[in-house]
Amino acid sequence: MTSTTTSGLAGAHAAAPAGAVSIRGVDQVFATRGGEVRALDGIDLEIGRGELVSLIGPSGCGKSTLLRVIADLVTPTRGEVVVNGKPAHQARLDQDYGMAFQAAGLLPWRTVAGNVELPLEVHGTKRSERRERVAELLDLVGLADFAKARPGELSGGMQQRVAIARALAPRPPLLLMDEPFGALDEMTRERMQAELLRIGTETGTTVVFVTHSIPEAVFLSQRVVVLSARPGRIAGIVPVDLAERDESVREDPRFFAGITAVRETLRGGGAPVGGVEDR
């Protein structure tokens, strides 16, 4: 995998174009045996088509819950979520998003190609079309030579690339990612970040990305949404003004300025920076 230059991600200060995700007045309260847990409080967020937005905040502040609300895996206690112009529930039925998690979650008995093909089988896509799409996706994530391998024969980064290919298989306009690179070593993680930017640019997919790492959020995102400690509220949204995103950006003063802005917003939100990695 080579380092990737990704342009066209500038304009962070412009208002987000409407369209991919609209979250209005969302509260999430869980009833537990120990009483009510207020996970999200008054979340309003608009995410434009083709945007890459990260969610960051201290452990337990509701990042995964917010992602699950967008995915309609949790119905918010209050408020409204519109995905791809329709209620989140309809978007789920229409498979308008793909998901990728920290654990790649591949089926060990299926080949790499078989794993990527799975959502297309569920979708009822014709066999010839499936084969074509799988080949295209394995090319996209740089795993064309590993189509017949089993997940257990791949490195962690390669497994994550299979998971991303699988999530993208039905061409969802939206990709929801929950700490997808959290279990990878630092170098692999940086390579995967560059890969994700390239894939996002090539496919135009909107990405909502949960992370604990401030540099990861700044490197990837046009906007970093900072949540306060539970109950998760939006403490601030940090626009990241990087015209080009390649490895050299990691030494760019604007990259460091973004990191400082996110860190200060975390502190300003009353959040101890604990649970958030400065690396």
Ligand X SMILES: Nc1ncnc2c1ncn2[C@@H]1O[C@H](COP(=O)(O)OP(=O)(O)OP(=O)(O)O)[C@@H](O)[C@H]1O
Pairing of strands 86-87, 234-239: unpaired
Minimum CB separation of residue 209 from ligand X in Å reads 12
Asked if residue 172 lies in contact with residue 137, where contact means CB atoms within 8 angstroms, the answer is no
- Decide if residue 233 touches ligand X (CB under 6 A): no
The contact mask relative to ligand X for 144-173 (x = CB under 6 A, - = no) is ------------------------------
User: Which residues, including other chains, have CB under 8 Å from residue 29's CB and lie 6 or more apart?
Assistant: 36, 37, 38, 39, 77
Minimum CB separation of residue 272 from ligand X in Å reads 13
The piece of 57-65, 93-101, 217-225, 247-255 that touches ligand X (CB under 6 A) is: 57-65
The piece of 2-10, 30-38, 79-87, 235-243 that touches ligand X (CB under 6 A) is: 30-38
The piece of 52-60, 80-88, 128-136, 162-170 that touches ligand X (CB under 6 A) is: 52-60
User: Which residues, including other chains, have CB under 8 Å from residue 159's CB and lie 6 or more apart?
Assistant: 104, 106, 151
Enumerate long-range contacts of 153-157, CB under 8 Å, 24 or more apart: 154/112, 155/188, 156/104, 156/183, 156/184, 156/185, 156/188, 157/184, 157/188, 157/189, 157/191, 157/192
The piece of 15-23, 55-63, 94-102, 115-123 that touches ligand X (CB under 6 A) is: 55-63
Identified binder of ligand X from the candidate list 11, 42, 48, 60, rule CB under 6 A: 60
Count residues contacting ligand X (CB under 6 A)?
13
- Decide if residue 75 touches ligand X (CB under 6 A): no
Can you tell me the distance from the alpha carbon of 17 to that of 19, in angstroms, rounded to the nearest whole number?
7
Binding positions for ligand X, rule: CB under 6 A: 30, 32, 37, 39, 57, 59-65, 230
